[in-house]
Amino acid sequence: MNRQDTRTVESVRQIFTTFNFEFYMMKISLFVVSAFILVNCKPSVSDLVSAPLIPKPISIVSDGDFFMLEESTEIFIDSGSPSLNAIAQNLQKKIKAATGFTLKIKIISTKSETGIYFTQSTDASLSEEGYQISISEDLIAIRCYKPAGAFRAVQTIRQLLPPSSESNPKQSLSWKMPTGKIIDAPSYSYRGVMLDVARHFFSVAEVKQFIDLIVAYKINVLHLHLSDDQGWRIEIKSWPNLTLHGGKTEVGGGKGGFYTQEQYKEIIRYAQENFITVVPEIDMPGHINSALASYGELNSGTIVPTEGRVANDANTNKILDGKTKPTELYTGIRVGWSTLHLEKKSTFRFVEDVIREISAITPGPYFHIGGDEAQVTKKNDYVKFINRFREIVKANGKKMIGWEEIAQADINEEVITQHWNAAKYAIAANEKGSKLIMSPAKKAYLDMSYNSTSKFGLHWAAYIEVDSAYQWNPATLIDGISKENILGIEAPLWSETISNMDEVEYLLFPRLLGYAEIGWSKQENRNWNEYKIRLGKHAPQFESQRINFYKSNRVPWVSSK
Ligand code: TNX
């Protein structure tokens, strides 16, 4: 070989080596890129079983593939189920907010092979709110017995979309959903949350926002605590001072507020759209100072605690009739000191008018009469009063609900009792045939602080950490009371310490999800150690929705970053 040849061979080798080097570099980068894709595409996308659904469905089977939601995906409704139209529109709205896509809705008479297909079945074993979702590569089929089931299914589908999907539609994520089958139905038919709009007033817009928050977890009852010592929040046309005067303050002395009947109807309409039953509560015969301050004739000598007492002024006297002596308004947080004047005829005219006017604009089956902590009402009067109440509520076509103390009266299977504190009342109510709503303060009170450093909430019943809120079973809580005696569960959010949605969210999240699961999921499928991992995976969703949640260190929160 001459020198020329040697050089040629050398450069060929060099080319080869460089090529080889580049080849290896390419291989390495391919490996890095695929590893990156693997990590970032979350393999769980094609695993339906590991989707962190809350509440947990009855059964999930995955088949390892995925459905891709695209701009061209269509929503189909079985022509035999026209009542599913509104639900399809609701899903369309949610998907639009999430992805920017406006999916077309079509009514068809043969089963669809593609897109999202809603159909109603005559199979009653699916149950009132039950549903089945089958997801294949081309089709998401939703089957229900009643529209409520399809609506609950939509909430499941929302949770299967990528977490950030509801807040930032402009991003270029792929909208993949794992394939498989979900069969689901609730354990309890009553799954409620209560919002106290009396201690602090919350506007119609805020109540709607509240509904949006709870509905995502399949809660189906919103109990509105519409009156208390500190404020009367719903217009009663035959007793206008209740809101004109009794609605004008709140705990801490803020300006309070009230709903006109039209505004209340607007809340009801929005709730109905979300398959939520509104339970209105007028708390009597105690917790009634806002009415006593508005109409002196209802007052039999209630003494308003000095702390929080708002002295009547000349303006008050102009509004009120001046003939009888009204109490002062109250902005403190003491309980158990006020009572209606139960010996007067006008009191019953008042009770009848209030129940009649509210019942007339409430489509749901229930009317909550309060009945708690009537500590300054004589026992005999209390029993007579609750019995009379029962008749008035019934005459207005509603089923009466009352806090547990009503078990002292002649209640029966037509009445629902809400347990919050004493087992003896729950047992007595059960013996009288009254079904129970379980709201044990030590476990289910959303206004209890998480721990001693919490900024909001009270702690007279307990500090309720996220695990404690989850770890109880309504059906074994009280000896002698089992699942068939229970209508459902409710988590009340009293508002003495909270006055805006940020604060509401802080007490609500993340405990709300646990209560939703207690009410919906099968007890044997519930387990804190498994639940806390699912819950932790909801953090990116909370963050993208800007929900102000309590980041308990007992939950392994997943970071969205
Ligand atoms: C007790 S529970 C109350 C409410 C308070 C709440 C505060 C019940 C039926 N009555 O009036 O707001 O405690 O946690």
Average pLDDT value for residue range 255-262: 98
Q: Do 293 and 147 belong together in one domain? A: no
Cβ of residue 49 lying under 6 Å from some atom of ligand 1: no
CB atoms within 10 A of CB 430: 20
CB atoms within 10 A of CB 106: 14
Q: Which of 481, 372, 379 is nearest to 429 (CA)?
A: 481
Q: Residue 191 pairs with which residues in a beta bridge?
A: 489
Residue 72 pLDDT level (bands cut at 50, 70, 90): very high
How far is ligand 1, taken at its centre, from the CA of residue 273, in Å? Answer: 30
Cα-only R_g, the chain: 29
Q: Do 69 and 121 belong together in one domain? A: yes
Question: How do 59-69 and 175-184 pair as beta strands?
Answer: antiparallel
Atom of ligand 1 nearest to the CA of 441: 2
Kindly state whether residue 523 falls inside one of the protein's structural domains: no
Domain boundary among 470, 492, 514: 492
493: pLDDT strictly greater than 50? yes
- The residue nearest atom 13 of ligand 1, judged by CA position, is 494
What is the tens place of the pLDDT at every residue in 343-398? 888 899 999 999 999 999 999 999 999 999 999 999 999 999 999 999 999 999 99
Q: Do 291 and 175 belong together in one domain? A: no
- Side-chain half-sphere of 256: how many Cα atoms within 13 Å? 28
Residue 9 pLDDT level (bands cut at 50, 70, 90): very low
Q: Which two tokens stand for residue 89?
A: 């529109």
425: pLDDT strictly greater than 50? yes
CA distance 225 to 162: 36
pLDDT at position 162: 74
Domain boundary among 144, 159, 184: 184
Residue 97 pLDDT level (bands cut at 50, 70, 90): confident
Kindly state whether residue 421 falls inside one of the protein's structural domains: yes
Kindly state whether residue 439 falls inside one of the protein's structural domains: yes
What is the tens place of the pLDDT at every residue in 437-461? 999 999 999 999 999 999 999 999 9
Q: Do 173 and 134 belong together in one domain? A: yes
Q: Do 140 and 199 belong together in one domain? A: no
How far is ligand 1, taken at its centre, from the CA of residue 172, in Å? Answer: 48
Kindly state whether residue 391 falls inside one of the protein's structural domains: yes
- The residue nearest atom 10 of ligand 1, judged by CA position, is 372
Which range has the worst mean pLDDT, 32-41, 47-56, 76-85, 530-539? 32-41
pLDDT at position 457: 98
Kindly state whether residue 462 falls inside one of the protein's structural domains: yes
How far is ligand 1, taken at its centre, from the CA of residue 336, in Å? Answer: 10
Atom of ligand 1 nearest to the CA of 494: 12
Q: Do 201 and 254 belong together in one domain? A: yes
Q: Which of 166, 373, 490, 505 is catalytic?
A: 373
DSSP for 151-214 reads: HHHHHHHHHHS-GGGGT-TTS---EEEEEEEEEE--S-SEEEEEEETTTS---HHHHHHHHHHH
Q: Are 410 and 391 in contact (CB under 8 A)?
A: no
Mutational pocket test of ligand 1: of 494, 495, 497, 507, the residue with most ligand atoms within 8 Å of the beta carbon: 494
195: pLDDT strictly greater than 50? yes
Residue 3 pLDDT level (bands cut at 50, 70, 90): very low
pLDDT at position 13: 47
Q: Do 168 and 195 belong together in one domain? A: no
The share of the chain scoring above pLDDT 90, in percent, equals: 82
Q: Do 137 and 216 belong together in one domain? A: no
Cβ of residue 420 lying under 6 Å from some atom of ligand 1: yes
Domain boundary among 462, 492, 522: 492
Q: How many domains does the chain have?
A: 2
Kindly state whether residue 529 falls inside one of the protein's structural domains: no
Kindly state whether residue 509 falls inside one of the protein's structural domains: no
- The residue nearest atom 5 of ligand 1, judged by CA position, is 494
Q: Quick one: how far is CA 453 from the chain centroid?
A: 25
Task: Tell me if residue 373 is catalytic.
Answer: yes
Q: Do 277 and 403 belong together in one domain? A: yes
Cβ of residue 86 lying under 6 Å from some atom of ligand 1: no
Kindly state whether residue 541 falls inside one of the protein's structural domains: no
- The residue nearest atom 8 of ligand 1, judged by CA position, is 372
Cβ of residue 333 lying under 6 Å from some atom of ligand 1: no
We report the CATH number of the domain holding residue 264 as: 3.20.20.80
What is the tens place of the pLDDT at every residue in 197-254? 999 999 999 999 999 999 999 999 999 999 999 999 999 999 999 999 999 999 999 9
What is the tens place of the pLDDT at every residue in 273-325? 999 999 999 999 999 999 999 999 999 889 999 999 998 876 676 666 656 78
- The residue nearest atom 9 of ligand 1, judged by CA position, is 372
How far is ligand 1, taken at its centre, from the CA of residue 494, in Å? Answer: 7
Atom of ligand 1 nearest to the CA of 199: 12
pLDDT at position 164: 57
Q: Residue 61 pairs with which residues in a beta bridge?
A: 181
pLDDT at position 534: 98
Cβ of residue 462 lying under 6 Å from some atom of ligand 1: no
Q: Do 101 and 214 belong together in one domain? A: no
Cβ of residue 373 lying under 6 Å from some atom of ligand 1: yes
Average pLDDT value for residue range 10-20: 46
Q: Do 302 and 153 belong together in one domain? A: no
Q: Which two tokens stand for residue 160?
A: 């299967």
pLDDT at position 314: 67
Residue 6 pLDDT level (bands cut at 50, 70, 90): very low
The whole-model pTM stands at 0.91
How far is ligand 1, taken at its centre, from the CA of residue 502, in Å? Answer: 21
CA distance 355 to 368: 10
Q: Which of 68, 138, 133, 77 is nearest to 104 (CA)?
A: 77
Q: Which two tokens stand for residue 390?
A: 């029962």
pLDDT at position 343: 87
Residue 517 pLDDT level (bands cut at 50, 70, 90): very high
CA distance 166 to 95: 8
The share of the chain scoring above pLDDT 70, in percent, equals: 88
Mutational pocket test of ligand 1: of 224, 283, 335, the residue with most ligand atoms within 8 Å of the beta carbon: 335
Question: DSSP character for 392?
Answer: H
We report the CATH number of the domain holding residue 131 as: 3.30.379.10
Atom of ligand 1 nearest to the CA of 373: 10
**Could you tell me the residue range of the domain that residue 161 belongs to?**
48-184
Q: Do 350 and 290 belong together in one domain? A: yes
